[in-house]
Structure 1
Amino acid sequence: MSEPDHDSATTTALLLAVGVVAVSFSAPIAATTAAPALAVAFWRNALAVAVVVPWTLVRRRAELVRLLRHEHRVLAVAVLSGLALALHFGLWVPSLRMTSVTASTALVATTPLWTLLADRLTGRRPSRGVVLGALLAFAGVVVITGVDADASSRALLGDALALGGGAAAAGYTLLGSSVRRTTSTATYTSVAYTVCALVLLPVTLIARQPLSGYSTRTWVELVVLMLSAQLLGHSILNRTLRTAGATTVALAILLETPGAALLAWAFWHQPPPLATLPGAALVLLGLALVVRARTSQRRVQAALEVGNVTDA
């Protein structure tokens, strides 16, 4: 998990591809495993902590100690990121048991829309492309939730939880991007995953969801979930935050929606409801337009700044 300060564009693209494929296993496994939903959320983080923290103590001990003792502001942001991650999992994983995998992953992938809202609240004006993309994505959300609302109120609740999980994921991504400017992946994930697990533990116990007594197959599924979605998925995407930025990572994560649907179909024989596909396509198209417009806007601003420096 130790990485150089600057990856090449090719390396970053490859890491993003691996990360997206890995996180695509998250929804199908979490939706089908016999473990309770909150227990799944807890164990994927707790098992990851058992791997990441020892690695960090060996490879990044000095940085971790410095963060804990001296860099209190950065530590606070990392802790907040862990809280956002716990909220993300606490909302999204239960939603997978209430609505379809396609609908849940499409709605939780609305992260860029929530980051757009955060920009708006901080005084940044969105471009026309951003507004158009937001409207298309919102239309997709209406289509998806409309389909599930016809099915049952339980599916509608699952849709709402997935949307909340997307908002929490936006906070996790934005906060993580800030921490990753000065902190390695190993140190950051050690803090974030630990905080997430510590928050989810009492929540799971209060909900009276058992944390043990599972079959061997269930434990294997939890370990696979941790290795794929958490270590290869979240950790690799956290690494790319430094070089790719939150916007590009958010765009890449959009591919989790079709990826999860295909994996659920191929390995778990759960074909996505056909009526949700148009809505998922609108969400993906809208979110892609949002991210593209924001990227173009940043390039223009960077060019203007360079021009101002040259004129000076």
Structure 2
Amino acid sequence: MERRVCSVSSAGVAFKYIAEVPALTLAAWRLQLTSGILVAAAAVQWRGMPAADKARTFKDWRYSLFSGVTLALHFATWVWSLQHTSLAHAVLLVSTTPVILVAYSLIMRQPISGGEVAGAVLAVAGCAVLASGAVSAKETGVTLLGDLAAFAAAVAVVAHWQAGKHLRTYHGLLDHNGWAAEARSMVGGNCHGMFGWTACQRYAAVVVYLGAVPGVVGHQGFNTVLRYMSPLMVSLAVQFEPVIASFLGWATGVSPAPGLYTYIGGTIVMAATIGATVAAGLRQQKEERLVKSKSMRIAVDEEGVFEAGVDGLGAGDAAAAAAAAAAAAAAQAGARAPVGRLATNKAAMTSRS
């Protein structure tokens, strides 16, 4: 986990190293190598997708396009912010996604806890402290426009997540990320040539590093870790990115040491995002426990066809639960249903749930 956090945290330093490249072009270069790797893997997953899901993919082309464009905007605005404000401010503000998700939940009237709202309010206060440091010009390399661009990058990536949430209901992880990466690399690459970085050895080294280490080891590594760790733990680990990135920027000389406003505002923002993340994780765990504790009603009709009604569960979960309960009942009774009858019952459960 620590390697993945450090990999992602080093991206800002690499971007600062070639800050003379236009932001949109640099964002496209960073994504080309990553997209090439992911698209190749996505093509393999695409071949194994059911025909119905492939047809749905073409119908949902707007979601795929929106996902790619918003992620292109995320990288473009974040790279631009790195060129117009300090590394510490850029990384702090782009990491406020948990707070933006709270605002989104409030707007959409989705379930939310008091702890998440408190974290959002605290984050606003921290951002105000950071902005005051930019306005007063008492900190080197900090501008209000750069800070706003970093915050816009956080908003853009939340929009990308919302589109991805819809697509991931039937897409594989690499499938969705691969096509989105290809879309966003093409969006940015048209400004100054698709492969302009190959003409300069210095640029090529940085771009290869950005695509392979922060892109694959970092971002895609987090997605892999989610199979073995809770989303809450992964989200908390990511919140240490501003600290590591600020230290790396200062140690490599690409960014000055943070000033007083950054220390105060950054501490408040980090505390707020961690608090909102913990509150969201606890709320989700509570909701999952409530779903699992819902009573199950199983009835057997005269023909032996099982009917399941599970409050709060989807059709697939209801069918699986009914099948498990039916098997247990049959075992207790000492009866063994014919294979054909079980298949008929399973099909009936699927159609009725």
**The TM-score by the shorter chain falls in which range?**
0.7 to 0.9
Q: Answer whether contact 1:185 1:239 (CA < 8 A) is retained.
A: no
Q: Answer whether contact 1:56 1:64 (CA < 8 A) is retained.
A: no
Larger of the two Rg values belongs to structure: 2
Residue 149 of structure 1 is matched in structure 2 by: 135
Residue 5 of structure 1 is matched in structure 2 by: none
Higher mean C-alpha deviation, range 243-252 or range 230-239: 243-252
| Secondary structure, counterpart of 2:85 in structure 1 | coil
Q: How does 1:185-196 map to 2 (within 5 A)?
A: 185-196=173-184
Whichever residue aligns with residue 175 of structure 1, its letter is: A
1:290 to 266, 273, 276: 276
Q: Answer whether contact 1:92 1:165 (CA < 8 A) is retained.
A: yes
Q: Answer whether contact 1:82 1:172 (CA < 8 A) is retained.
A: yes
TM-score relative to the length of structure 1:
0.82
Shift of 1:307: 3.5
Residue 172 of structure 2 is matched in structure 1 by: 184
Higher relative contact order (CA 8 A, sep 6+): 1
Residue 319 of structure 2 is matched in structure 1 by: none
Higher mean C-alpha deviation, range 167-176 or range 91-100: 167-176
TM-score relative to the length of structure 2:
0.73
Distance in 2, matches of 1:186 and 1:247, equals: 22
Distance in 2, matches of 1:137 and 1:299, equals: 23
Distance in 2, matches of 1:65 and 1:223, equals: 34
The 1:176–1:272 alpha-carbon spacing in structure 2 relative to 1, beyond 3 Å, is farther
The 1:170–1:70 alpha-carbon spacing in structure 2 relative to 1, beyond 3 Å, is closer
Residue 230 of structure 1 is matched in structure 2 by: 215
Aligned residues: 293
Shift of 1:293: 1.1
| 1:118 maps onto 2:79 in alignment | no
Distance in 2, matches of 1:245 and 1:114, equals: 21
| Secondary structure, counterpart of 1:71 in structure 2 | helix
Aligned CA RMSD, in angstroms, stands at: 3.0
| 1:102 maps onto 2:72 in alignment | no
Structure 1: runs of 5 or more not aligned: 1-13
Q: Answer whether contact 2:24 2:188 (CA < 8 A) is retained.
A: yes
Distance in 2, matches of 1:256 and 1:289, equals: 16
Shift of 1:198: 1.8
Residue 21 of structure 1 is matched in structure 2 by: 6
The 1:91–1:252 alpha-carbon spacing in structure 2 relative to 1, beyond 3 Å, is same
| 1:221 maps onto 2:217 in alignment | no
Residue 262 of structure 1 is matched in structure 2 by: 247
Residue 79 of structure 1 is matched in structure 2 by: 65
2:266 to 272, 280, 294: 280
Whichever residue aligns with residue 95 of structure 1, its letter is: S
More helix by share: 1
| Secondary structure, counterpart of 1:308 in structure 2 | coil
Q: Answer whether contact 2:42 2:176 (CA < 8 A) is retained.
A: no
Residue 131 of structure 1 is matched in structure 2 by: 117
Whichever residue aligns with residue 284 of structure 1, its letter is: M
Identity across the alignment (%): 25
